[in-house]
């Protein structure tokens, strides 16, 4: 079965600044290199869903009437992602992300929202038929929260499953979003901000995941970097799915790859959640071994080959 996935989210061009380490306050350091790649959490997740699971993927979003916007539209179309509901905004420029990439592979990211922040509930309403025909609707927090709330409420009316990636983190997510979320997937930093529980070991990870489940009443999957992902869901035993030990080059888009890959494999009743999370961990492990956001997202064939 091929999943039908709609991604509601952000489209950015990433400018990556390669540095040995982050500067201290008041310090000036040299870049070792710079590079540019297509990104945005929404776009990354859509590409991951399409590449890793061959899912029928469509996008709701906005780009600017500029070269960056044209580049993003062309790239998504080349990935065979439906771009009919990506509006070209004549007033706001395309979103930008500035990535400080350290030699360790860890990154820090600064976002300029641009046209992503101009997305409206009317854009969602214009895509109702698209959402109704989908198995899953994925959203992140790089777009206005009111737009997510509108989309999730409608999705549940028409029995489309909703997946929330609460990133960048919003400590107090609106109840209108949480009550219409079927599965929430933060990383450990985001989970800590949502629950107030610091994750220091496996015991506190369990506490945090259970608190997240109580907060949302949704299935919860917390990604914990090179440790893997911990999940809590109805009728499934809480468990940690370990990640493969791999050399890390760049962690950009690892979380987005995880979500896109997981949803590409997930059944609408969530009964295969463990297998879908295991597949997503494998896909993310491939992503961190290459530079850039979308350039590092693997194909389904690459993920399958990595099991051997």
Domain boundaries, the chain: 4-306
172 pLDDT exceeds 90?
no
The answer on whether 252 is annotated among ligand-binding residues is yes
CATH architecture type of domain 4-306: 3-Layer(aba) Sandwich (3.40)
The answer on whether 223 is annotated among ligand-binding residues is yes
Q: Which one is catalytic: 103, 135, 256, 269? A: 256
The answer on whether 12 is annotated among ligand-binding residues is yes
| Residues contacting 94, CB < 8 A, separation 6+ | 11, 12, 13, 63, 64, 66, 68, 69, 72, 114, 115
Active site residue 256: yes
pLDDT tens readout for residues 119-168? 999 999 999 999 999 999 999 999 999 999 999 999 999 999 999 999 99
DSSP-based three-state secondary structure for 216: helix
DSSP-based three-state secondary structure for 5: strand
Tell me the CA distances in angstroms from 154 to 106, 182, 290, one per residue in order. Answer: 37, 13, 38
Residue 46 · residue 76 · CB < 8 Å: yes
pLDDT tens readout for residues 200-231? 888 998 899 888 888 888 899 999 988 999 99
Tell me the CA distances in angstroms from 79 to 7, 82, 83, one per residue in order. Answer: 14, 9, 10
Which H/E stretch holds residue 277? helix 273-287
The answer on whether 14 is annotated among ligand-binding residues is yes
pLDDT given at position 308: 63
């Amino acid at each position: 079965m091929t999943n039908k996935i709609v991604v509601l989210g952000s489209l950015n061009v990433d400018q990556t600044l390669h540095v040995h380490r982050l500067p201290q306050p008041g310090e000036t350091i040299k870049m070792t290199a710079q590079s540019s790649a297509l990104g945005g959490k929404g776009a990354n997740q859509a590409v991951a869903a399409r590449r890793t699971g061959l899912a029928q993927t469509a996008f709701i979003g906005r780009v600017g009437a500029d070269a960056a916007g044209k580049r993003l539209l062309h790239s998504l179309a080349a990935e065979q992602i439906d771009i009919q509901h990506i509006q070209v905004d004549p007033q706001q420029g395309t979103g930008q992300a500035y990535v400080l990439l350290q030699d360790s592979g860890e990154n820090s990211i600064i976002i300029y929202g641009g046209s992503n922040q101009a997305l409206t509930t009317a854009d969602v309403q214009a895509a109702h038929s698209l959402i109704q025909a989908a198995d899953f609707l994925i959203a992140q927090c790089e777009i206005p929260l009111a737009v997510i709330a509108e989309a999730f409420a409608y999705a549940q009316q028409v029995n489309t499953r909703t997946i929330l990636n609460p990133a960048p983190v919003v400590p107090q997510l609106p109840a209108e979003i949480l009550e219409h979320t079927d599965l929430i997937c933060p990383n450990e930093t985001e989970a800590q901000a949502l629950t107030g529980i610091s994750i220091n070991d496996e015991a506190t990870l369990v506490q945090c995941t259970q608190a997240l489940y109580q907060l949302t009443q949704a299935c919860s999957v917390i990604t914990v970097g090179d440790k893997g992902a911990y999940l809590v869901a109805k009728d499934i035993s809480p468990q940690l799915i370990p990640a493969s030990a791999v050399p890390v080059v760049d962690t950009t888009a690892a979380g987005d790859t995880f979500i896109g890959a997981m949803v590409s494999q997930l059944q609408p009743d969530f009964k295969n959640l463990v297998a879908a999370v295991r597949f997503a961990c494998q896909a993310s492990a491939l992503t961190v071994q290459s530079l850039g956001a979308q350039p590092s997202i693997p194909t389904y064939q690459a993920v399958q080959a990595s099991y051997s």
